Amino acid sequence: MNASSPMKEIGRPLVEVRNLVTRFDLKAGLFGHVSGRVHAVENVSFDIFPGETLALVGESGCGKSTVARSIMQLDKPRSGSIRFDGVELLGAPRQVAAKFRRQAQMVFQDPFSSLNPRMTIEQSLIDPMRVHKLGSLETMRARAAELMAKVDLAPELLERYPHAFSGGQRQRICIARALALNPRLIVADEAVASLDVTIQAQVINLLMDLQRDMQIALLFISHDMAVVERIAHRVAVMYLGEIVEIGDRRSVFGNPQHPYTRKLLSTVPIADPTRRPEGRVPMSDEIPSAMRAPDFVPVELPMHQISSTHYVRQVAAG
């Protein structure tokens, strides 16, 4: 019904995630027997195309960060498949993993703890290039200055330490560092959640400019549907470790099918005092825990197709 994503014509997806399962064992007692299990990610599948933004939306604890960390090889998935540019990453030899790490970079939520306070900005920007042995110190320094210009910061600031910068500037530096290796994939894990609204908008605009210029694929993780509507080409809504709705942005926002997607949409503040949700009954329900008994077998409900690009999971009865 909607025009399919323009990225489809490019052909093969850059990232193909299939049936990803990541669980964490909870150990108890003297011998550390498994007393429970957190089903953080259950059977998650999606693609990301070059130059495309896939937004992963959900509340705290829904497993969206674990998906990101699993892709980045920071958490070890239990089963499934993650292919990057056609190459399987799970169980891949070290050379493959090292090559992947050059092409995929991450921007974290908190720009205060993701920059080393004892390194100058220049050292932080050069660090990834140094690890991957890209050229002499002079070329790396020139590259660092280039990166600063890319994120609209003055190259003179390179000699300073992180404490001299505001939150928004630090997040720009983190983005510059992620760009240092010319990545093809950037995973932004709540990268704007801790910023003021004005700064948040600026950083999102910057990410969109960089994506357009460099054809980077972006996995954008967020809990805020209003932000996602701006930046995403496609949206995946996660609830309790599962994707409950996935589709192109227009279709998911224009025709949300899953009750959880509708709930997320209804909670976005409306910047118009004349449309205040006056009658809304104060709720206090929380997202249920994904912690299960060790012998728990998850029930997989089928996905239904809404349009060529839009799928929704069947809602559990009762």
Partner 1 sequence: MIPAKPSLPELPEDVILSVEDLEVSFAVRSRARFRAVRGISFTISRGETVALVGESGSGKSVTAMTIMRLTEYDGAAITGGRVLMRFKDGKVADLAKLSEKRVEALRGAEISIVFQDPMSSLNPVFTVGDQIAEAVVHHQGKTLVQARQIALNTLKLVRVPDAERRLDQYPHQLSGGMRQRVMIAIALACRPSLMILDEPTTALDVTIQAQILDLVRALQQEIGMSVLFITHDMGVVAEVADRVCVMLKGEIVETGTVYDVFAKPQHAYTRALISAVPRLGSMADKDAPEKFPLLVFEPERQLAEAGK
Q: Which residues would be at the binding site for partner 1 (CB under 8 A)?
A: 2-3, 6, 53, 59-60, 166-167, 196-202, 204-205, 208-209, 223-227, 229-233, 249-250, 253-254, 263-274, 276-277, 280-286
Distance in Å, CB of 140 to partner 1, minimum: 31
- Taking the complex as a whole, how short is the minimal distance between the CB of residue 31 and partner 1, in angstroms? 25
Q: How far is the CB of 5 from partner 1 (least distance, A)?
A: 9
Cβ closest to partner 1, residue 70 vs residue 169 = 169
Minimum gap (Å) between residue 196 Cβ and partner 1: 4
126/192 with CB nearer partner 1:
192
Smallest distance from partner 1 to CB 53, Å: 6
CB closer to partner 1 out of 32 and 269: 269
Q: How far apart are CA 263 and CA 192, in angstroms?
A: 22
Output the smallest distance, CB 79 to partner 1, in A.
Answer: 29
CB-based contact 219:54 (threshold 8 Å): yes
Residue entry with tokens 């050069």 = 126
- Sheet of strand 303-307, all strands in order from the earlier edge strand to the far edge: 104-107, 185-189, 217-222, 53-57, 234-239, 242-248, 310-313, 303-307
Structure tokens at 266: 């209804």
Cβ proximity to partner 1: between 185 and 195 the closer is 195
Alpha helix positions (H), the chain: 64-71, 94-103, 121-131, 137-150, 167-179, 197-214, 225-231, 249-254, 259-266
Q: Which of 188, 189, 181 is nearest to 207 (CA)?
A: 188
The residues near 49 (Cβ < 8 Å, ≥ 6 apart) are: 5, 7, 8, 10, 13, 14, 217
Q: Could you please report the per-residue DSSP string of 193-204?
A: TTS-HHHHHHHH
Give the nearer residue to partner 1 in terms of CB position, either 125 or 227: 227
Q: Which amino acid is at 169?
A: Q
Closer by beta carbon to partner 1, 45 or else 202: 202
Residue 31 CA, distance from chain mean position: 36
Nearer to partner 1, 37 or 234 (CB): 234
Least distance to partner 1 from the beta carbon of 88, Å?
A: 30
Q: CA 113 to CA 163: how far, in whole Å? A: 11
